[in-house]
Structure 1
Amino acid sequence: MTRLKALFALLLSIVAGPALATTDDPSAMVPAVSEGRVVTWPSLDGGAAGRMTVWVWLPPGYDARRGARYPVLYMHDGQNLFDRRLTKFDQVWGLDQAIPRMVRQGDLRAWIVVGVQSPRSRYDSLFPAKLFPLLSPGFRKRVSELDSGDPKGPLAGDDYLRFLVGQVKRRVDREFRTLPGREDTAVMGSSMGGLMSFYALAEYPEVFGQAACLSMHVALASPTEKGVDHASAAVEVADVFRRYLRQSRMRPGINRLYIDHGSKTLDGSYGPYTDRLVPVLEAAGWRAPNFMFRTFSGAEHNETAWRERVDIPLAFLDRRDP
């Protein structure tokens, strides 16, 4: 393998599937948590997005406070949230530590966290399907070949969202004491999960009142691909988002949107793209306090970096924070 091919393979491991579990069957594993408890729903049918396990983390006090109802945070790549045994890179978000800590500090309500396992074809299933036809033919080719190196069939992002909203959320609200409305329902993820969080808010703004998109893969295809004019690609991506926003029902006066990225590893290549995207969002009316964009100097593209700053998006998502 040439050096260029090796570097491209490394990029694919980060973007297309950064966190496949180390076990053959992570769906059979129950994450160990430092506080609260986890309910596991193994191998649910996500249609074209494939079968995925769902882990529901109940915060400390949930069982004792029988009359209390809780806001709910839905997260992608759920195997990376709590327990290193389920991860590939031995790094986790540590939500079972961050949320109780912030609750004790008076900075956050206690949230239920619902983690959905990464789809088998992660890039295909977390790509915003309605953005794809807005891209130029050449850009569509780059997207189609990124995950496997070969042209693929239809993207499964809409199927993934139907699974999340129609199956997972419906069951969560039925089986647990939730606050099911928009203002108490949020979605968060990183990289492709960040992109899918944006899409979830845009497609289902009446379900998800707020979204946090950490290290959002705003470039849509590889932001480090050789032979690509990334300045021009960033202009096209911004225009695609502008056109898509015209058909989206999310509204800056009602919904809340958080986007960030770091400056090292893959995150370091996102700057030219967010430099174009953020003005598009601002022109569409996205401003504080319902919009926040942050960059973090020195932060890399991994769970350790997201863990270190997770308090910021958590506080942003909780519009009723104490």
Structure 2
Amino acid sequence: MAFSSWLAALPLLLALVSADAPNPAAPGRIEHVADFQSRYVKPRNIDIWLPDGYPQPGTRYAVVYMHDGQNLFDPKKAGYGVAWEVDSTLAALRQRGEIRPCIVVGIWNTDRRLPEYTPAKPYYTMSAAQRAKIELERPGAPLSDEYLKFIVQELKPYVDQHFQTSPRRADTFVAGSSMGGLISLYAALEYPKVFGGAACFSTHWPLSLKENSPAFTEAMVQYLDKKLPSRNKPKLYFDYGSATLDAWYEPHQVRIDSVLRAHHYNSKAWLTRSFPGAEHNEAAWKKRVALALPFLLGR
């Protein structure tokens, strides 16, 4: 073949090679469930990510339940135009053998996000004056107990029935950022027989957006003292940056970390990471998914 003819055919040859070659980080597919109904909370959309090749015969998949589900996969659906791209990240991690097979259940938020993500039990241990300050910023009392009932009693049974999951505690996790970090920790401790761990990105310990108060953190300290188990500890991942809203978090996280040490948490069950310069946004959390989820899903 003349060089000019070969050069003209090159695009077709490359296309054929690409078509036959395996994609090292195939993102899989997403099944969308619109307006999932509940007895406990408002209906909401659910996105369920299934990895490439799902279902593999004989494989039971771990499940990660993630809050703010519209921000996880598609930038067009994300609230600020940036998605975490959890699908591509997990596909690449799986390809490298860093995690076991898993699916992700993205739970969209609603206009009740703040009350649904506010841990109720520690919240009500704060003084009336402290609660009144917070309630000036947000609509209504906490709805987190109802939100967790929705996940545990309605959504999880649906997922386990319709998909090839491993329903065991050791294969069931929860994750989220900011207020989603708070509700993830609360879920792991309120339902220790359901969730084997939680990933909490840029956990919003102050609750308030106006005042960097330690009041809720101290309420969480008291709650953790009572709820952290001595056996079968849930895996707990925390992180924080140092810019924008994340600039508030280090002293709160240090306080929480001291409680975990007092309860004999070690590096197998607990990881806290600091990311200097990182801001409080999806772009930052997108970079950290590949660091956090192997801690929960590692082989």
TM norm. shorter chain > 0.5? yes
Would you say the 8 A contact 1:71–1:112 is kept in 2?
Answer: yes
What amino acid is the match of 1:171? Y
- Equivalent position of 2:9 in the other structure: none
Matched residues in 1 for 2:124 and 2:40: separation? Answer: 19
Shift of 1:123: 0.5
Would you say the 8 A contact 1:49–1:119 is kept in 2?
Answer: no
Matched residues in 1 for 2:205 and 2:231: separation? Answer: 19
Shift of 1:172: 0.5
Matches within 5 A, 1:162-311: 162-222=149-209, 224-225=210-211, 230=212, 233-234=213-214, 236-248=215-227, 250-251=229-230, 253-311=232-290
- Say what the alpha-carbon RMSD is for the aligned residues: 1.8
Aligned identity (percent) is 38
Shift of 1:300: 0.8
Shift of 1:68: 1.5
Matched residues in 2 for 1:307 and 1:86: separation? Answer: 15
- Equivalent position of 1:138 in the other structure: 129
Secondary structure in structure 2 of the residue aligned to 1:112: strand
Larger Rg: 2
Shift of 1:96: 1.1
Secondary structure in structure 2 of the residue aligned to 1:259: strand
Would you say the 8 A contact 2:197–2:234 is kept in 1?
Answer: yes
Secondary structure in structure 2 of the residue aligned to 1:40: strand
Match of 2:76 among 69, 85, 88: 85
TM-score (norm: length of structure 1): 0.81
- Equivalent position of 1:114 in the other structure: 105
Would you say the 8 A contact 1:49–1:121 is kept in 2?
Answer: no
Q: Deviations over 1:116-156 (max 9, x none)?
A: 001321101111011111112221112212225xxx2x321
Shift of 1:253: 4.5
Aligned in 2, Cα 1:249/1:290: closer, same or farther, shift over 3 Å?
closer
Shift of 1:275: 2.5
Shift of 1:182: 0.6
Q: Deviations over 1:12-38 (max 9, x none)?
A: xxxxxxxxxxxxxxxxxxxxx962111
How many residue pairs align between the two structures?
275
What amino acid is the match of 1:255? P
Matched residues in 2 for 1:49 and 1:221: separation? Answer: 23
Matches within 5 A, 1:69-80: 69-80=60-71
TM-score (norm: length of structure 2): 0.87
Matched residues in 2 for 1:260 and 1:112: separation? Answer: 23
Would you say the 8 A contact 1:46–1:159 is kept in 2?
Answer: no
Aligned in 2, Cα 1:123/1:173: closer, same or farther, shift over 3 Å?
same
What amino acid is the match of 1:62? Y
Secondary structure in structure 2 of the residue aligned to 1:180: coil
- Equivalent position of 1:62 in the other structure: 54
Matched residues in 2 for 1:187 and 1:106: separation? Answer: 21
Secondary structure in structure 2 of the residue aligned to 1:211: strand
- Equivalent position of 2:27 in the other structure: 35
Shift of 1:289: 1.5
Matched residues in 2 for 1:91 and 1:200: separation? Answer: 26
Structure 1 runs, 4 residues or longer, greater than 4 Å off:
249-253
Shift of 1:251: 4.7
Secondary structure in structure 1 of the residue aligned to 2:192: coil
Query: Are residues 1:313 and 2:277 paired?
Result: no
Matched residues in 1 for 2:66 and 2:258: separation? Answer: 27
